[in-house]
Amino acid sequence: MSTALTARERMLGRLRAAAPSAPEAVEFIDTAIDQHYLARRAAAPLPVRDRIAAMQAALRAAHAQVDCVSADAWPALLAQRLGAHGAHRLLLDTGSAEGRALRAALPQGVEALAFARPLAQWKGELFDTVDAGLTVARSGIAATGTLVIAPDAATPRTVSLAPPLHICLVYASSLHVDLHAAARAERWADGMPANLVLVSGPSKTSDIQQTLAYGAHGPRWLWVLIIDDLSVQEGGQP
């Protein structure tokens, strides 16, 4: 016991005697991080159009259905798939350009709903009768197949969380190579949204045997449509 106490005292003594190191300046750390990611992207560049393929591959690996479609063709494609899926009620921002385009293409039997009431007033109806929710991603991260969603009053977090089917549109011109590129290009440091949501696949969990189950804590299905808008702005973003 005395030997253990002596060893402990020696260790504590060395810790107390050690001079505290000065913390690195935030600017120095930021520069080091920037240099790391810039070097990595320079060694393995990912042109803008190649980001589409990378995004698709990562999302499919996460059990999402994903397609790249032109800006004028996606409403008809999505409307047809909703009908085939058996969806009857779709939650979306009816005032957005995307919401108006999809509403015009929906077949009879598929109702478009706006999130126009406080959740407490129609919580039961929402969870029991709404089949799908549509969101438009702020951007995407190709390396991980991540959708960057910024919920707002018209499309709160509930739209992408409560219905069993989450449908997300993301524009090809908004795809970033990695998370660092997204944070820098969108200037998150200057005012990151308080409720930014990152989605990389449908909701999934596993039991002790590591058997995956989908839809336990959120949408069972995730459909992603990458809108190819690069023809009018070829070259994209950095």
How far apart are the C-alpha atoms of 22 and 13, rounded to whole Å? Answer: 20
pLDDT for res 115: 94
For 187-200, write each residue's pLDDT tens digit. 988 887 778 999 99
How far apart are the C-alpha atoms of 6 and 41, rounded to whole Å? Answer: 52
- Buried b vs exposed e over 137-161: b needs ≥16 C-beta within 10 Å? bbbbbbbbbbbbbbbeeebbebbbb
Of residues 59 and 17, more confidently modeled: 59
**Nearest to 54, CA basis, from 227, 180, 178:** 178
How far apart are the C-alpha atoms of 60 and 52, rounded to whole Å? Answer: 12
For 138-183, write each residue's pLDDT tens digit. 999 999 999 999 999 999 999 999 999 999 999 999 999 999 999 9
Residue corresponding to tokens 């005395």: 2
- Read off the pLDDT of each residue in 120-146 and give the average, rounded to a whole number: 95
For 21-54, write each residue's pLDDT tens digit. 766 777 888 888 888 888 888 888 888 899 999 9
pLDDT for res 62: 93
pLDDT for res 235: 46
pLDDT for res 236: 42
How far apart are the C-alpha atoms of 81 and 88, rounded to whole Å? Answer: 12
pTM: 0.83
Please tell me the least confidently modeled range out of 120-124, 158-162, 194-198, 224-228: 194-198
Q: How confident is the model at residue 238 (pLDDT cuts 50, 70, 90)?
A: very low
Please tell me the least confidently modeled range out of 110-124, 136-150, 224-238: 224-238
- Read off the pLDDT of each residue in 120-124 and give the average, rounded to a whole number: 93
Q: How confident is the model at residue 232 (pLDDT cuts 50, 70, 90)?
A: low
* Rounded percentage of the chain residues whose pLDDT exceeds 70: 91
* Mean predicted lDDT score pLDDT of the chain: 88
- Read off the pLDDT of each residue in 103-125 and give the average, rounded to a whole number: 93
H helices of the chain, where?
Answer: 2-17, 26-43, 48-61, 74-85, 97-105, 119-129, 157-161, 179-185
For 199-212, write each residue's pLDDT tens digit. 999 887 777 766 77
